[in-house]
């Protein structure tokens, strides 16, 4: 069929007649399979020898397609009609127009449906073949009963003749609610495209979308709500769309769908601030029967919608949910309870009208909270007491009432700090000390335990023999191998259990010496506060003596055999300093009061202020409008044309698409990867575009040879949590030409991944398959993690929970501690949780906590501990990274190593 010169000549057989067009046509149409085979051989040989059979072959193909279009089997007809959508030759399509039109009246919907697709494609490519296609499809649409056929017809009219589509919609707009879901989706597409062209019908379109909000199909409801809010800023329409989306989240079972709809609702909230505040109770209906991630997203939206008007309703519902979790001891209930406590804390801490009730609820249920939830509850109480001085008395009384129910160390430390900090009158000091003594039990400490141990020894038949215990431990030998070491240890038998002890005494006997230091610090505050009120009194001397007795008892506990581990040096020194403070309270009263009372209170006040400032900053960043350049043209609405004015409400939909395209193109230009060398027969390079969970490789293949390379195949393999979704198909490239192909990979984790592969092709002439190896493509972990703030309690909880740790020694030429921290933050894309006040100043060491979170919900924790020996020395120390998965910890470690190996800029 080619018109080019033929360079191949094949000698015909002597007994072979010269082919005749009519004979060949007859043989191909009516002959047996053997006759057809011989006729086809004649055509091939004749074509290679330069004979022209174009008209014959065209007639054969057209006749075969025509026969299939008249075939009695409807599936052959339908498949042929779908095949016609692929044909781009007008000469082949022209004789088939009549049968294609006739298929619109076929009795089977499958044939009619594909006939509409064929007409749509032909009209799009060659409108001169079907000039009346829109009228034909419109008349077909009026009488067609099948939903899928009507949908295809509507899509054809939408993209080919929007006038006809709008005309049909105006005639059927009153019965749109009765259509099937596929037709309703097509109607939404018509409205989305026609609203700019037909501004006079905008109100009817909006009314139609309102009706579609009540559809039973989830996709219709979601699309209708999404399009409706882009057409109008009317508060009624916004609330109706939001209500429909909320109902969709409640009714939908798929958690992925719930998360997608919640993301759309969050966008709606940020765009229309203040309109969704009345729906906050409806949002809380999502909480039952949802997984923890859906609940977390929902509560995040609720916190942003909380205001003075609805805070009471929000807190009441959250309190009911919290009480439900107290009746369930499962792990899911514990996680949900912790989430509720954090949400109530964040929402109610700024509203004094509910803060007191929430404090009472938290304190009354603190014995049933987990370690993290109890610490969060006491943190809320502490913040309420600081922000609302009028509530201090009532909250302090409630804390004293429930003090004996506090059993976790973190909550106990914060409660002791509260009692020591805000006990500022005689009655409060006395009540606080009595509760602390009640939680400590019998004084002096260890007296009861030693007595019980002595009684246990006396009751033994041989009291001189101590109890022998056999211990086995694992030791690391100098060569790095492991060995087992056994030892015999004698100790006094313990006839008591920690469960029988009061809470504070149990924590001290359990070896929690940090609680002991906090207790000692709080006792000093009580003594100094009483000294400030009444410097010379019997109560002061009694309190001082009992406080000293408790502090000495804590040290004795740490040095006794009743605990598994001795007291650490830091706690020991801290308690000794508290003892000296009480000893010299008269001589250095002003300095001690300033250190223990004034500075301590000021430090916490600064923490609260920094927390509030950070929240305001985050809120400002969320609501911040991007600044325009100085030469950006100004737009005056009064001077806009009518059509431009009508486009304002629909521009958001187009802007989202353009923004998405921009965000897709920009990383491509920054991510060019060369896969082969310039001296290879085929040069290959790839643009790597990362878009959330997908990685798209746009691969450019250049044939640098003078031959056509056939069967070029690109194969990729991956390491880590990368999965190849779309594999490039084999193809051919002409000499000195190029081709572009795409490969898509799915990402399921924030670990750094590696993509490696090769290219194979068939060498011309030899038939051999040759292979070119690609350079490795590394997926950067920083594309998937972003800095985020994390509360200290949550950070410490995750730090103790995560099992994977990567410890890195600091090896750098940097001589400034703060400069190293700044470079570390930039290299790892993490947020420094340590406040600026703790980092300021000039000293020889620096410690900081850093945190980031991946788009997959994975947490990455980092602890930095560095120091300088002298002014001229380099920074030394170590970095510890913890995460749930090993890959994140190792990937961040590689980033730090790369940072340390970079030369320092002059």
What is the residue-averaged pLDDT of the chain? 81
Report CA torsion sign: 295, 296, 299, 305. negative
- Most confident stretch, 129-133, 354-358, 716-720: 129-133
What pLDDT was estimated at residue 659?
A: 47
- Per-residue pLDDT at 627 exceeds 80: no
Question: Rounded distance, CA 819 to CA 829, Å?
Answer: 15
Q: Which is nearest to 163 in space by CA: 129, 134, 122?
A: 134
CA-to-CA separations, 644 to 190, 193, 194, 641, in angstroms, rounded: 20, 15, 15, 5
Taking only Cα atoms into account, the Rg of the chain, rounded to an integer number of angstroms, comes to: 39
Contact 334, 322 (CB under 8 A): no
DSSP state of 388: -
Contacts of 478 (CB under 8 A, 6+ apart): none
Q: What is the mean pLDDT of residues 493-517?
A: 78
Give mean pLDDT, residues 658-680. 64
Residue 849 above 90 pLDDT? Answer: yes
Closest CA to 888 of 822, 829, 812, 819: 829
Contacts of 84 (CB under 8 A, 6+ apart): 65, 93, 96, 100, 118, 121, 122
The confidence score (pLDDT) of residue 644 equals 44
Residue 269 · residue 301 · CB < 8 Å: yes
In this prediction, residue 879 has a pLDDT band, given cuts at 50, 70 and 90, of: very high
In 3D space, the residue among 22, 24, 55, 16 whose CA is nearest the CA of residue 40 turns out to be 24
* Residue 290 structure tokens: 């949802």
DSSP 486: E
Alpha helices in 365-446 (DSSP H): 371-387, 392-401, 409-422, 426-440
CA–CA separation, 228 vs 235, rounded Å? Answer: 11
Q: From the options 2.160.10.10, 3.60.15.10, 2.60.40.1480, 3.40.50.450, give the CATH code of 664-779.
A: 2.60.40.1480
- Is the pLDDT at 888 greater than 50? The verdict is yes
Write out pLDDT tens, residues 391-437: 888 888 888 888 888 888 888 998 999 888 888 888 889 999 999 99
| Residue partners of 339: CB distance under 8 A and separation at least 6 | 292, 295, 296, 299
Residue 308 vs residue 19, higher pLDDT:
308
Distance between CA atoms of 735 and 81, rounded to whole angstroms? 36
Q: What is the DSSP letter of 813?
A: S
Band the pLDDT of 477: cuts 50, 70, 90: very low
Query: What does pTM read for this prediction?
Result: 0.68
3-state secondary structure of 485: strand
How big is the CA angle at 46 (ends 40 and 47), to the nearest 5 degrees? 90
Q: How confident is the model at residue 384 (pLDDT cuts 50, 70, 90)?
A: confident
Domain borders along the chain are 306-401, 405-451+495-617, 664-779, 783-901
Instruction: Report residue 687: phi and psi, to 5°.
Output: -95, 125
User: Which candidate, 43, 62, 63, 64, places its Cα nearest to that of 1?
Assistant: 43
* In contact, 445 and 555? CB cutoff 8 Å: no
- What is the percentage of the chain residues whose pLDDT exceeds 70? 84
**Per-residue pLDDT at 670 exceeds 80:** no
Q: Say which CATH architecture domain 783-901 belongs to.
A: 2-Layer Sandwich (3.30)
Give me the mean pLDDT over the 736-756 stretch: 79
CA–CA dist 457, 463 (Å, integer): 5
pLDDT of residue 906: 47
Residue (of 291, 599, 167, 294) closest to 421 by Cα position: 599
Q: How far apart are CA 820 and CA 865, in angstroms?
A: 11
pLDDT per residue over 526-559, tens digit each? 999 888 887 777 888 898 899 999 999 999 988 8
DSSP 10: -
Give 622's pLDDT tier (boundaries 50, 70, 90). low
* 3-class SS shares of the chain: helix, strand, coil, % to 5: 60, 15, 25
The pLDDT of residue 592 is: 84
What is the per-residue pLDDT for 551? 92
DSSP 905: P
pLDDT of residue 661 exceeding 60, the answer is: no
pLDDT for residue 678 is more than 70: yes
Residue 646 has a pLDDT of 43
Averaged pLDDT for residues 844-867:
88
For β-strands 804-809 and 831-832, DSSP reports them as unpaired
What is the average per-residue pLDDT within 46-60?
A: 72
Q: Is the pLDDT of residue 460 over 90?
A: no
Name the band, by pLDDT with cuts 50, 70 and 90, for residue 79: very high
The predicted-structure confidence for 265-320, as pLDDT tens digits, reads as follows: 988 888 887 788 888 889 989 988 778 888 888 988 888 888 888 888 888 888 88
When pLDDT is averaged across residues 838-854 and rounded to a whole number, the result is 85
Q: Is residue 246 over pLDDT 60? A: yes
> What's the confidence (pLDDT) of residue 619?
66
pLDDT value at residue 256? 83
Which range has the worst mean pLDDT, 458-462, 516-520, 865-869, 873-877? Answer: 458-462
pLDDT at res. 634: 60
Q: Label residue 174 exposed, middle or buried (CB < 10 Å: 0-12, 13-18, 19+).
A: exposed
């Amino acid at each position: 069929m080619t018109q080019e010169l033929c360079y191949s000549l094949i000698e015909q057989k002597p007994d072979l007649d010269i082919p005749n067009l009519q004979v060949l046509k007859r043989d191909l149409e009516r002959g047996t399979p053997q006759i057809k085979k011989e006729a086809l051989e004649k055509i091939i040989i004749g074509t290679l020898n330069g004979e022209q059979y174009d008209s014959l072959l065209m007639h054969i193909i057209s006749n075969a397609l025509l026969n299939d279009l008249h075939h009695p089997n409807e599936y052959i007809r339908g498949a042929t009609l779908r095949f016609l959508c692929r044909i781009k030759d007008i000469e082949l399509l022209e004789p088939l127009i009549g049968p294609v039109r006739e298929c619109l009246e076929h009795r089977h919907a499958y044939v009619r449906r594909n006939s509409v697709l064929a007409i749509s494609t032909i009209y799009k490519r060659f409108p001169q073949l079907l000039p009346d296609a829109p009228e034909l499809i419109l008349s077909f649409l009026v009488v067609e009963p099948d939903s899928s056929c009507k949908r295809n017809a509507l899509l054809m009219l939408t993209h080919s003749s929007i006038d006809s589509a709008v005309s049909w919609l105006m005639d059927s707009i009153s019965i749109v609610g009765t259509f099937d879901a596929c037709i309703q989706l097509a109607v939404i597409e018509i409205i989305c495209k026609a609203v700019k062209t037909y501004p006079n019908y905008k109100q009817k379109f909006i009314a139609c979308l309102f009706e579609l909000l009540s559809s039973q199909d989830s996709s219709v409801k979601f699309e209708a709500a999404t399009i409706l809010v882009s057409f109008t800023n009317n508060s009624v329409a916004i609330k109706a769309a939001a209500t429909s989306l909320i109902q969709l989240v409640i009714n939908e079972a798929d958690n992925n769908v719930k998360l997608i709809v919640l993301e759309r609702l969050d966008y709606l909230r940020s765009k229309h601030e203040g309109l969704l505040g009345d729906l906050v109770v409806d949002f809380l209906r999502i909480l039952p029967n949802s997984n923890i991630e859906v609940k977390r997203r929902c509560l995040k939206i609720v916190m942003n919608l909380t205001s003075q008007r609805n805070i009471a309703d929000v807190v009441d519902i959250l309190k009911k949910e919290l009480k439900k979790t107290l009746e369930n001891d499962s792990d899911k209930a514990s996680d949900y309870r912790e989430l509720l406590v954090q949400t109530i804390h964040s929402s109610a801490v700024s509203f004094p009208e509910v803060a007191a009730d929430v404090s009472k609820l938290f304190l009354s249920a603190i014995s049933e909270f987990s370690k993290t939830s109890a610490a969060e509850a006491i943190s809320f109480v502490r913040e309420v007491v600081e922000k609302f001085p009028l509530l201090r008395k009532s909250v302090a009384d409630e804390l004293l009432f429930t003090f004996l129910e506090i059993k976790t160390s973190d909550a106990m430390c914060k409660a002791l700090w509260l009692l020591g900090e805000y006990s500022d009158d005689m009655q409060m000091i006395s009540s606080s000390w009595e509760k602390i003594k009640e939680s400590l039990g019998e004084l002096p400490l260890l007296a009861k335990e030693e007595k019980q141990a002595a009684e246990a020894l006396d009751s033994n038949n041989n009291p001189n023999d101590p109890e022998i215990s056999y211990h086995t431990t694992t030791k690391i030998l100098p060569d790095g191998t492991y060995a087992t070491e056994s030892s015999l240890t004698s100790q006094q038998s313990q006839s008591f259990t920690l469960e029988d002890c009061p809470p504070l005494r149990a924590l001290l006997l359990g070896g929690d010496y940090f609680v002991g230091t906090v207790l000692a610090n709080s006792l000093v505050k009580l003594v100094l506060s009483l000294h400030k009120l009444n410097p010379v009194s019997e109560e002061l001397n009694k309190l001082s003596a009992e406080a000293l007795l408790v502090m000495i008892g804590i040290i004795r506990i740490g040095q006794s055999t009743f605990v598994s581990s001795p007291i650490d040096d830091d706690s020991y020194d801290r308690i000794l300093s508290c003892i000296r403070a009480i000893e010299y309270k008269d001589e250095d009263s002003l300095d001690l009061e300033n250190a223990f009372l004034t500075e301590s209170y000021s430090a916490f006040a600064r923490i609260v202020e920094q927390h509030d400032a950070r929240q305001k900053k985050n809120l400002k960043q969320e609501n911040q409008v991007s600044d325009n350049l100085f030469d950006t043209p100004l737009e005056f609405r009064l001077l806009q044309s009518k059509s431009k004015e009508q486009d304002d409400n629909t521009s958001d939909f187009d802007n989202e698409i353009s923004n998405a395209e921009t965000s897709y193109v920009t990383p491509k230009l920054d991510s060019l990867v060369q896969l082969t060398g310039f001296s290879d027969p085929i040069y290959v390079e790839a643009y790597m575009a990362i878009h959330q969970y997908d990685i798209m490789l746009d691969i450019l293949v250049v044939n640098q040879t003078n031959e056509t390379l056939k069967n070029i195949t690109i194969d990729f393999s991956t390491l880590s949590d990368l999965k190849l979704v779309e594999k490039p198909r084999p193809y051919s490239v002409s000499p000195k030409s190029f081709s572009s192909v795409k490969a898509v990979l799915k990402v399921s984790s924030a670990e750094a991944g590696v993509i490696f592969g090769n290219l194979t092709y068939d060498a011309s002439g030899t038939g051999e398959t040759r292979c070119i190896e690609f350079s490795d493509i590394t997926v950067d972990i920083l594309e998937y993690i972003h800095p985020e703030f994390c509360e200290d309690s949550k950070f410490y909880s995750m730090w103790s929970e995560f099992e994977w740790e990567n410890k890195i020694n600091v090896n750098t030429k940097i001589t400034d501690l703060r400069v190293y921290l700044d470079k570390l933050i930039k290299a790892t894309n993490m947020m420094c949780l340590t406040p600026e006040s703790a980092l300021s100043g000039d000293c020889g060491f620096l410690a900081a906590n850093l945190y980031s979170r991946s788009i997959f919900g994975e947490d990455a924790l980092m602890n930095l501990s560095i120091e300088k020996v002298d002014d001229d020395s380099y920074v030394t120390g170590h970095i510890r990274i913890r995460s749930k998965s090993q890959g994140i910890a190792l990937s961040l470690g590689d980033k730090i190593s790369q940072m340390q190996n970079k030369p320092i800029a002059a």
